[in-house]
Structure 1
């Protein structure tokens, strides 16, 4: 798994929204865990979205969602 190299990218992850599908427009942190697991089984999309979905699955698996929600509040999009 690719790690996030800097704070800017972590803040971007906190505000990244699903661009398509049933959950279009939802923050990745708000996606249900079974949906992320399904992506892992089927294969994450290429590029940034796939990396962010994989990272979010790891975050949720480890109960770290409060950190992402804190980032959303402390670093709102301008």
Structure 2
């Protein structure tokens, strides 16, 4: 399955909207924090979906993919 380019671009520029890591890019959240959400339960809605994707990306060591997309498609 080929990821949708627009989804990757949006994910690369998404920021945490609240809490200790407010305004930090989701890809830059500490791994333990994303794992904590995985164990606790992700928020409902789009943020939760994006955090699930970030969890899978970090789990598989693909953070550099998202950082590369962010550089190639700046906002």
In the alignment, structure 1 residue 56 sits paired with structure 2 residue 54: yes
RMSD, matched Cα: 1.7
Query: What is the match of residue 45 of structure 1?
Result: 43
| Cα distance in structure 2, aligned partners of 1:63 and 1:51 | 18
Q: What whole-Å deviation, never above 9, does each CA across 1:9-28 have from its counterpart, x for those lacking one? A: 21000000000000000000
Equivalent of 2:14 in 13, 16, 22: 16
TM-score of the aligned structures, taking structure 1 as reference length: 0.90
Q: Deviations over 1:7-52 (max 9, x none)?
A: 1121000000000000000000000111001101111000110000
Distance (Å, rounded) in 2 between the aligned partners of 1:26 and 1:71:
17
Q: Structure 2 residue aligned with 1:26, among 3, 24, 29?
A: 24
| TM superposition shift of 1:72 | 0.6
SS of match in other structure, 1:34: helix
5+ residue gaps, structure 1, are none
Count of residues in Structure 1 that have an aligned counterpart in Structure 2: 75
